[in-house]
Amino acid sequence: MKYLTVDLARAADAHPNTVRLYETWGFLAPAERGKNGYRLWTVDHLDQMVFARRALHGVWPGRRIRESALALVRLAATGDLDTALIMAREHAELVREELERAEAAAAFLERWARGAEEPKKDSGAAPLSVRGAAAAADATIGQVRNWERNRLIDTPRDARTGRREYGPSEIGRLRVIRTLLLAGYSVMAVLRMTTELDRGRTTGLREVLDTPREGEEVLTAFDRWLTALGAQQARARELTALIQARIERRGQFPRNP
């Protein structure tokens, strides 16, 4: 059975132009042409269009996941479904690792807010300079300065010299900021959290990280990182199941010529 472009578009809840673009970008194998020049698609194309749309539609949670999904869709379009199934499982593992990293960073934040991750205080130790603070937080001076410009931390200054002084509390906060940003949370999400922290909140900070405030413009998946990764994990599982189903159908029925 042959399908028209509009049939693929309807099956994937997309516009016909999207089907044509997917063919151009390698997300669909080239279609044969009828005598009238119209594209004629097979059931394999139909399955691949649904698969590609499911993989590509929506917000991307990070470059690594995006590149992995694009490679998966292009490979599946070649018809090498056995290898695509292996890649789909690798893609799901990548998403799982990203989610695990984000969860670990949120857990570190919660422990720190309870005082469990605070650096040991030495009553005789002098406050650190920005260079020393950056080294203690495993960051660069430029990163620390940037976090201060973005109001993630307000460092006290020496009354005489005006220089910033970093004590144990500031060092701990810098470590938390670095951990969260490396795990994928946006600067806006971290600022949302530190604002609540400065208001005296020490519980529920994981939810604050993942919940934009009323009126806050959500620009990227990183502004709701845990939610975005959770949704992507469900999507990765679905993609694996879709390829597995295509393999099983191919074993039951011969491929369309």
Question: Do 101-225 and 5-97+235-252 have the same topology in CATH?
Answer: yes
Specify the pLDDT at position 257: 41
The predicted structure's pLDDT at residue 251: 77
Q: Where are the domains of the chain?
A: 5-97+235-252, 101-225
* Residues of the chain under the 50 pLDDT cut: 256-257
In the prediction, which pLDDT does 57 show? 87
3-state secondary structure 103-170: HHHHHHHHHHHCCCCCCCCCCCCCCECHHHHHHHCCCCHHHHHHHHHCCCCCCCECCCCCCECECHHH
Spatial CB neighbours of 38, under 8 Å, sequence gap ≥ 6: 4, 5
CATH number for the segment(s) 101-225: 1.10.1660.10
Note the pLDDT of residue 122: 59
pTM of the model: 0.86
Determine the pLDDT at residue 213: 84
Q: How high is the pLDDT of residue 199? A: 92
Topology of domain 5-97+235-252 in CATH is: Multidrug-efflux Transporter Regulator; Chain: A; Domain 2 (1.10.1660)
